[in-house]
């Protein structure tokens, strides 16, 4: 469509399987949807299934990511601290304390158009000591509106109600509000009344027969006994990678469409 751009958004990548899925499928899906840019949540892409480090981030950039968003596991690797200050295209939530390393929003040029990405974290069932994501969004978006109308928000949050609340709060002010964190893709993608694309959760990339990309046995044991249990990344296939394609009007910044994708890969093998 003339005057429109398409963007691909991928849910949380989990460990090495998530990285391998992204490297394999991001270029294919970018070509399929004729997308201009790719944004991925990489906060669980480290080898242990949580956190991200400079080597992992560079791999994702080389595999096609234009911007990497994160969330509550961003501090799992200490060697990412300085990297967050050095690399503007990897974000930590904007509503973390300002004294934290890194930044919570970025802009980049796509086909001559300035595009902004904002990363936020929820408070409900998560850390309530963070700044209010609603107020932080309002301030940040007011600043970004002087630069562009094409603004996307990755809202890394637990509660669907909080995600929906932010979606309606920002309806008409941003191009899309896209939930991450639960690793379970929701089927509520839609265009809100004032033109903002919305989905409660993009999903994840990892083993289908896992719990959030991790081996299920240890998690079930903890649920049954309450005893500590080490969570390990699941390396057995089949695998899946999920997300959405959002098309926006480059003039107004409003969304024309949002489409879910759910790709099952039963051929890929990942070594530990």
* Cα angle for residues 249, 167, 203 (degrees, 5° grid): 90
Domain ranges, ordered by start, for the chain: 4-207+236-265
Question: What local confidence, expressed as pLDDT, does residue 188 receive?
Answer: 98
- In the annotation, is 105 catalytic? no
CATH label, 4-207+236-265, candidates 3.40.50.300, 3.60.21.10, 3.30.460.10, 3.30.470.10 = 3.60.21.10
Question: What local confidence, expressed as pLDDT, does residue 251 receive?
Answer: 96
Question: What local confidence, expressed as pLDDT, does residue 1 receive?
Answer: 56
Full pLDDT tens readout for the chain, 272 residues: 569 999 999 999 999 999 999 999 999 999 999 999 999 999 999 999 999 999 999 999 999 999 999 999 999 999 999 999 999 999 999 999 999 999 999 999 999 999 999 999 999 998 768 999 999 999 999 999 999 999 999 999 999 999 999 999 999 999 999 999 999 999 999 999 999 999 999 999 999 999 999 999 999 999 999 998 889 999 999 999 999 999 999 999 999 999 999 999 999 999 98
Single out the catalytic residue among 73, 105, 113, 183: 73
Q: For the chain, what is the radius of gyration of the CA atoms?
A: 17
């Amino acid at each position: 469509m003339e005057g429109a751009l398409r963007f691909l958004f991928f849910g949380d990548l989990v460990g090495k399987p998530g990285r391998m899925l992204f490297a394999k499928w991001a270029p294919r899906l970018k070509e399929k949807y004729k997308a201009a840019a790719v944004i991925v949540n990489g906060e669980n892409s480290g080898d242990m299934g949580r956190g991200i480090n400079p080597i992992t981030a560079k791999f994702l950039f080389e595999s096609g990511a234009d911007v990497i968003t994160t969330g509550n596991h961003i501090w799992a690797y200490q060697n990412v601290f300085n990297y967050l200050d050095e690399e503007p295209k990897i974000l930590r939530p904007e509503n973390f304390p300002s004294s934290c390393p890194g930044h919570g929003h970025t802009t980049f040029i796509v086909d001559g158009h300035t595009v902004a990405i904002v990363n936020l974290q929820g408070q409900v069932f998560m850390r309530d000591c963070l700044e209010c994501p609603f107020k932080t969004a309002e301030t940040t978006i007011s600043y970004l509106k002087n630069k562009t109308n094409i603004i996307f928000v990755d809202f890394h949050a637990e509660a669907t109600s909080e995600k929906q609340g932010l979606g309606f709060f920002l309806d008409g002010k941003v191009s899309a509000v896209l939930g991450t964190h639960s690793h379970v893709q929701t089927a509520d993608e839609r265009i809100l009344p004032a033109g903002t694309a919305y989905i409660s959760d993009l999903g994840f990339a990892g083993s289908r027969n896992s719990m959030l990309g991790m081996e299920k046995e240890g998690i079930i044991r903890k649920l049954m006994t309450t005893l500590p249990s080490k969570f390990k990344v699941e390396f057995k296939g089949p695998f899946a990678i999920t997300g959405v394609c959002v098309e926006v009007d480059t003039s107004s910044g409003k969304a024309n469409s949002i489409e879910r994708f759910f790709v099952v890969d039963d051929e890929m093998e990942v070594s530990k």
